[in-house]
């Protein structure tokens, strides 16, 4: 139960209301302009809630005299401990302790901010629902980790997001973005129809038209992967792309039914270390003078070694200058333009050399 105070700034008049014990002596409605409110919680240690607005209307239960709703319009401002908010209009539902912000709504605290057309905040749990032109910013943690920690996005920089809808739970440990979702940090970004972040499980799920882009700081190379679905585990720094996957990196393109990608374990480094393409894998490398195309059931790509191993499904490598090569296992060193062929009794190594005209 709360004790509510309304301060009329024009006259510096404070009027305090408490539940009345006398029958038929209950306040039902209160209106004012240019107001400030102060809500003091009965629980010791909880912060006061302060608001201000151009107009205010408070509705009370005629039977009990308890506050039901508090509506404030025009230039609404709010503060509760470190949490701040503002909007064109606001409504507080006293029974559920939900605060509804509408029109140019914004909520912020030391960890970041959220802007949207409308925001619903559960004051008890801190859970939030933001809808319409949502943008959010999460600031880096001020405390340095005791040991190097990496993540899909650089943990030392600000993370930003945009979506049609955003929902948070568990004190921002569970965050979901829906509708044209975009999560980015400098040049690194993830786009999808929906993005779910579960910080406790250290997992990120992206669903629908997924596009991830990461830059390797050492050589400024971008790795772009497109797929219908992606799951990322932060502990392993491992991503699983599913359903007609396409990876672009420099002049190399890899397509397959699914793809696993491992990123560097170094702190704040998103460089691609290794990729496994599984199911109808196709590797294409283009250059100024030639095209190389590898086909197999599986392709293992060791990025630092610039080595691609093709296995399963009658692997073969086509070179627009040198011809076609088949074998049970093909190992191609792209930087050296060197191909190793392993054959077997069932599938002997074979090459077809193109003659120069």
For residue range 60-119, list pLDDT tens digits in order. Answer: 887 777 778 889 999 999 998 999 999 999 999 988 989 999 999 999 999 899 999 999
* Domains of the chain: residue spans and CATH: 1-139 (2.60.450.10)
315-346 confidence digits (pLDDT tens): 999 988 888 999 999 999 988 878 899 864 44
Q: Residue 232 is encoded by which pair of tokens?
A: 């990322």
Rounded CA Rg of the chain: 30
Output the CA torsion 114→120→123→127 (10° steps): -70
Contact 266, 287 (CB under 8 A): no
Contact 248, 261 (CB under 8 A): no
The confidence score (pLDDT) of residue 17 equals 47
Q: How far is CA 271 from the centre of its chain?
A: 19
The confidence score (pLDDT) of residue 39 equals 79
| pLDDT higher than 80, residue 16 | no
What are the angstrom distances between the C-alpha of 295 and each of 255, 280, 319?
Answer: 10, 7, 12
Per-residue confidence at 30, pLDDT binned at 50, 70, 90?
Answer: confident
Question: Which among 36, 33, 47 is positioned nearest to 2, based on CA atoms?
Answer: 47
| pLDDT higher than 70, residue 198 | yes
> How many beta carbons lie within 10 A of that of residue 22, not counting itself?
7
What are the angstrom distances between the C-alpha of 78 and each of 12, 39, 72, 277?
Answer: 19, 11, 11, 51
275-310 confidence digits (pLDDT tens): 999 999 999 987 767 889 999 999 999 998 999 999
Q: How far is CA 177 from the centre of its chain?
A: 7
What are the angstrom distances between the C-alpha of 201 and each of 97, 154, 234?
Answer: 29, 18, 9
The confidence score (pLDDT) of residue 64 equals 77
CA distance 28 to 112: 38
Contact 154, 268 (CB under 8 A): yes
pTM of the complete model beyond 0.75? yes
CA distance 62 to 68: 10
Contact 51, 76 (CB under 8 A): yes
Output the DSSP codes for 120-183.
EEETTT--EEEEEEEEEEEPPPSSPPSS----SS-TTS-EEEEEEEEEEETTTTEEEEEEEEEE
CA angle 40, 56, 82 (to 5 degrees): 40
What are the angstrom distances between the C-alpha of 186 and each of 138, 222, 267, 290?
Answer: 13, 13, 16, 34
Question: Which among 67, 68, 73, 69 is positioned nearest to 86, based on CA atoms?
Answer: 73
The per-residue pLDDT of the chain, averaged, comes to 84
Question: Which among 159, 162, 240 is positioned nearest to 199, based on CA atoms?
Answer: 159
> How many beta carbons lie within 10 A of that of residue 206, not counting itself?
27
Output the CA torsion 185→191→192→195 (10° steps): 0
């Amino acid at each position: 139960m709360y004790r509510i105070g309304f301060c009329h700034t024009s006259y510096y008049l404070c009027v305090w209301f408490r539940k009345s014990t006398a029958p038929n002596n209950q306040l039902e409605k209160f209106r004012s302009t240019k107001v400030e409110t102060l809500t003091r919680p009965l629980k010791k240690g909880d912060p006061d809630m302060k608001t201000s607005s151009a107009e205010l209307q408070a509705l009370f239960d005629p039977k009990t005299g308890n506050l039901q709703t508090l509506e404030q319009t025009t230039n609404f401002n709010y503060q509760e401990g470190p949490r701040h908010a503002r909007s064109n209009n606001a409504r507080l539902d006293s029974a559920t302790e939900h605060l509804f912000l509408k029109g140019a709504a914004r909520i912020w605290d030391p960890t970041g901010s959220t802007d949207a057309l409308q925001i619903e905040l559960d004051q008890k749990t801190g859970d939030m629902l933001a809808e319409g032109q949502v943008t959010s910013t999460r600031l880096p943690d001020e405390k340095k980790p005791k040991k190097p920690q990496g993540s899909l996005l650089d943990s030392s920089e600000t993370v930003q997001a945009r979506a049609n809808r955003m929902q948070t739970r568990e004190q921002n440990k569970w965050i979901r973005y829906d509708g044209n979702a975009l999560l980015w940090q400098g040049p690194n970004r993830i786009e999808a129809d929906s993005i779910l972040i579960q910080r406790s499980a250290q997992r990120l799920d992206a669903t629908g038209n997924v596009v991830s882009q990461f830059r390797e700081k050492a050589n400024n190379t971008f790795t772009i992967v497109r797929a219908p679905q992606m799951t990322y585990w932060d502990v392993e720094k491992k991503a699983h792309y599913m359903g007609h996957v396409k990876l672009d990196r420099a002049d190399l393109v890899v397509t397959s039914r699914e793809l696993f990608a491992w990123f560097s374990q170094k702190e704040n480094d998103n460089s691609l270390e290794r990729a496994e393409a599984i199911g109808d894998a196709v590797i294409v490398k283009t250059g100024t003078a030639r095209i190389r195309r590898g086909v197999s059931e599986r392709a293992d790509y060791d990025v630092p070694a610039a080595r691609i191993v093709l296995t399963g499904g009658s692997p073969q490598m086509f070179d627009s200058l040198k011809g076609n090569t088949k074998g049970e296992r093909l190992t191609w060193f792209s930087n050296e333009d060197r191909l190793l062929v392993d054959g077997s009794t069932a599938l002997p190594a074979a090459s077809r050399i193109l003659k120069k005209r």
